[in-house]
Each structure stands twice: as structure tokens, then as C-alpha cells.
Structure 1
Amino acid sequence: MKLYSALLLTAAITLAGCQTTEIVPPKSIAEVNYVDIPTLLISLDSDGDGVPDDLDQCPGTPENVVIDGRGCPFTTIGTGLQMEYRAFFAKGSSELTSKYQVELDKVAARMKEYDTAIFKIEAHISEDEINKELSSLPKNRALIIKNYLLLKHGIESNRLMTLNCDAKAPIAPNDTEEGRSFNRRVYGLLTEPDNDYPSNLKAGICVEF
């Protein structure tokens, strides 16, 4: 009996020693799930010319200058010379204030640099300036610009085109004083001599005089 019990104990121990614990291997790298975290990219445009800093090859472009896809001003005749000018006026006035004279000096400098360039001058009024007493106002605004370039900088008259647009091409609503103040303006465009004039002349909105 004792021998039989001893044999059973020995067999049990032997069986226990033969059992192994199943080890589950960890997932392989290929089985690991990754989660994409969105990244927010911010493109700065320090000079406000519409070309992000990381693409802008001419940082610090001044205002009122037309630029190309690189962020650089058009600068040579034959490759798209353009320069814009804007001046705003008090109601009923054609007085050109000093800050707009400074900008006009820059236009004159460019015209001297490129002596075939043409400057086209659009004169506009607001709706509350439409009356008999102020009928000559848009022409006066255009002429004050033209005469400044003629008398101060000696720019030839045949390189200056003046256009009367009256109140036909507003850039802001005329139902507020702020809007009307934006419409009392002169818009100038310096271009190559063979450039077509913008749509305001083609559409008959402005009249050359």
C-alpha cells in the first residue's frame, strides 16, 4: 500500500513537471495601430502682399505696389511694369494732402527711371458730391495730380492720361460717411505704354479728357 501511494505521488510530480505555461508573444510592430495627430501650419505674410514669407523672395514690399508670384514688384519695361497710386479727398475738395504728395513723388521717380511708362489717372466722387456747383470736381482732382507731376517733376504731358469717372465706379457703399470718404478718390496706374487700360475705360464708365 505504501509502495502504491509512493508511485502515485511520483507520477503526479512527473506530470506537473511536464506541464508548460503558454506564453503569448507581444504584437509585432506591423500590428501596432498608429493614430495620426493633425498638425496646424501657419503661414506668415509680414509685408501683406499676399505671398507667404516662406515663398516671398522680396520681403518688405511697400504698399500700393503690384507684385508678381515671387512677391517682387514688377520693375522693368517689357516684363509687366505696374505701379498703383491712390489719393483720397475731403468732401467737395481737390486739395492733395502731403502724404499723397509723397506717394506721388515715388510715381514720378519710377516714371523717370522708365521713360516710356504711362500714368493713367482716374478721378472719382461720392454720390453726395453730385451737384452743379461741384460738377468740375472730378476733373479738378485728376488735374491736381497731373499738374503736380508736370510742374514739380517735369513729367511730359503726353505720358499722363486723365479720366473723369464721376460717381459711376464706387468702391464702397454711398449710404455711410465712411463709404463716401473711400469713393472721393483718385486712382492712378503706371503701366507700359502698350498695356490695355482696365475695364472702367473700356466699359465707358470713365471718359478721357
Structure 2
Amino acid sequence: MSIVRTALPLVLLTSVLTGCAGLQKTDWPICAATGGVVGAGLGAIESSSWIGPGALVAGTVAAGWCWAHGDGDEDGDGVPDSRDKCPGTPKGVQVDADGCPPPAPAPVVEEPAVVKEETIVIRDVHFEFNKATLTPGDKEVLSTVATRLKQETSTAQLRVTGHTDSVGSDAYNQRLSEKRANSVVNYLVDQGVPRASFVSVSGAGESQPVADNKTADGRAQNRRTEIRINR
């Protein structure tokens, strides 16, 4: 009988502590209450005078054990608190084995599409009448074009073509378109555009109209210089 009375308290207290180990740390009041009840019962085995001290001692031990060894899943993410590296994860958030949300995917950065070929059409360069000499207004327009072209990479290739309307002979307009194309290129080079960027300078005369030569407006549209950019 003495062996039973000695072993029984240890067995019961061990059972209580084992049960508490499966609870969360915040459940220590439950452990304390359970331990207190068990402690009171164990104290009663000895004598009625041991009920109070037994409850106090066993409750304190059980509460401390629960706090030190308790485990659980306070944030409900399926990962025990003992190895949850991200406690407090919001409910419903998917987590990894460590209880942490997976890293956010890296933002997809779309590279801007590079336009391989572009044509700048200059129609506001009128030259002096029947000549290839640039007017002050022409130079102002071309200065803006030069600023634009200097932003291109050193590998960009520039092809310049001059065009005329149909007034005059084909041969005359061919020569005039060539002279005007060269005037444009020379001015752009003077403004800082590398001459090496110009891979061709030519004239198309009146052979490539973009509008009706029978009207003044159409002829004005046909008198133009085109700069094709190949990147």
C-alpha cells in the first residue's frame, strides 16, 4: 500500500504534465487548474491538511510546465508553434514548412520593345526657292531634329533621302533632291550628329510622291526629306 501511495502521485502528475505538453503556452491556466485538482486529490490521499498545499504545488508545477513545454498552433497555419518561424500569420494564408508565407513573386519587368526601324519625315524644310540653301527657319527645324538624333545609340544607321514635287524635269528634280539631302546632312553634322551614322545620302527626285502633285498642298507634302533610322 505504501508503494502505491508513493507511486500514484508521480504517475498522476506525470500524466498531467504530459497532457499539458500538447497544449499551447497560453493554456497555462487550464494546466494550473488541472494540476491543482490533481494536486488536491493527491494531498487528500495523505491527509486532509495536504489538500491545499498539494493543489498549490501541483497547479504551479503544471502551469510552469505548460508554459515552458507547451506547443500548439496559435495562428492556425498548420505548423506547431515550436517550429513556427512566423507566428501570427493571418488566417487563410498559405505557409511553408517553417510557418512563413512564401516570398512574393518577383515583379515581371517587361523590357520596352525596341523599334528596329523608324522614319522621320521633315516637311517644314523649304530651302531657298529653287535652291538647296537652308533658310533660318529650316535651320531651326533641323536643330530640333539634330537633338532627337543625338539621342540615338552609336550603332544606329541613318539613311537620308530627299524628295521633290513634279514641277520641273525629272533630271533636274533628281539633282535638286540630292543637293537638298546633302544640305540637311551637313547641317545635322554641324549640330553634333556623327557623320559616321549616315550610311547613305540620296535623292529620289519626284519619283516617290506621297500626295497629288496637281494641288499646292499635295506638292508641299511631296517636297520633303526622310531620315530612316535602323537600330
- TM range, smaller chain: 0.3 to 0.5
Higher RCO (C-alpha under 8 Å, 6+ residues apart):
1
Structure of larger gyration radius: 2
Superposition TM-score, scaled by structure 1 size:
0.47
Superposition TM-score, scaled by structure 2 size:
0.43
